[in-house]
Amino acid sequence: MQSDAEQNPAGTSPGTEATRTLLSGVDEPPRPPAPEGAPFPEPSALPAPETSALQITPRAAYPLDAPPSSSEANRKPASITLLVVVTAVSLAADLASKYWAKSNLSGYDTKARALRKFEVIKDYVDFVFAQNPGGAWSFLRSLPDTLRRPFFLVVSAAAIVFIVSIYRRVYADQRAMKWGLPLALGGAMGNLVDRIRYGWVVDFIDFYVKRGGREHHWPTFNVADVAIVVGVGLMAIDMIGSRGHRGKLGELHEAPAPAPVPPAA
């Protein structure tokens, strides 16, 4: 019967040889036996087996994951001066036009035996004095005054606070939004002034068409309503444009990744 030294001429024990075989992996070629008396290396010191013949490019190396450029990081906020000036101009135009309408169009025209009016475009647009206790285009005017007046006061004040808070987040390059918010703000403030002073809003722009011998009238409105509609339209244009820009970025993110780069020889 042979001794252990005769069975292992290199001086390694059977347990050591088995451990080396397990650590080396199935696909790794066998390693030469260690010299007699040399310590067996730790598993962490052994070279890792190659997992692939191709080098995988990390996702962080793609341009879409790069940090924002200096131009994006340095975007300037919208001018507060623009907010104040456009709001003041739209508010002044609304209050001045309402004052003119109330002074010149209210009452009864004894000569014409009808309500006073100023013809702007024959058979299409007239200026007439009207008291609107409701919202835009006579919305909710049938509600009792005890409910309608506080409701519109709270809604108008909340709209003003909301518009100002949104404008603080607008950038100078958002042209439609930075003009739309001040216009809507001036219109909301103009109607709020009327509700505080009178409990109703002065309307005087009467648009109508004649068909079949009858006049079909659109609800009367004022300069504040025009400013609000134009402002909301500009805000919608900005939001639609921003959504389209985000959609293009999403398509870029979903584009196939570049082909893996083979390792250098």
Taking the C-alpha atoms of residue 44 and residue 47, their distance in angstroms, rounded to an integer, is: 8
CA angle 144, 126, 153 (to 5 degrees): 30
* pLDDT tens digits, one per residue of 105-158: 988 877 877 888 899 999 899 999 999 887 766 677 777 778 888 888 899 999
Q: What pLDDT sits at residue 114?
A: 80
What is the per-residue DSSP string for 104-148? HTSSEETTTTEE-EEEEETTTEEEEEEEE-SSGGGTTTTS-HHHH
Which range of 46-50, 147-151, 166-170 scores highest in mean pLDDT? It is: 166-170
pLDDT (0 to 100) of residue 60: 46
In the prediction, which pLDDT does 169 show?
93
The alpha-carbon radius of gyration of the chain (Å, integer) is: 40
Instruction: Name the β-bridge partners of 221.
Output: 205
- CA 265 – CA 262 distance, rounded (Å): 9
Output the pLDDT for position 62.
42
Q: What pLDDT, in 10s, does the model give residues 225-254?
A: 999 999 999 999 999 987 765 555 455 445
Known catalytic residues?
A: 203, 225
Measured CA distances, 168 to 67, 163, 179, 190 (Å):
24, 9, 13, 21
Whole-model pTM over 0.75: no
Domain boundaries, the chain: 4-51, 76-254
The SS3 assignment for 67 reads coil
pLDDT of residue 260: 58
Q: How far apart are CA 263 and CA 265, in angstroms?
A: 6
Helix (H, G, I), strand (E, B) or coil at 62: coil
Reported as a single tens digit per residue, the pLDDT across 63-121 is 444 455 555 567 899 999 999 999 999 999 999 999 999 999 988 877 877 888 899 99
Q: According to the model, what pLDDT value does residue 146 have?
A: 80
At residue 34, does pLDDT exceed 70?
no
User: Does residue 242 come out as left (phi exceeding 0), alpha (psi in the -120 to 50 range) or beta?
Assistant: alpha
Query: Can you give the pLDDT at residue 66?
Result: 47
Neighbours of 235 (CB within 10 A): 22
Q: What is the DSSP letter of 169?
A: T
pLDDT for the residue numbered 57 = 47
In this prediction, residue 251 carries a pLDDT of 53
Tens-digit pLDDT profile for residues 182-216:
999 999 999 999 999 998 999 999 999 988 888 89
* Six token digits for residue 146: 């005890």
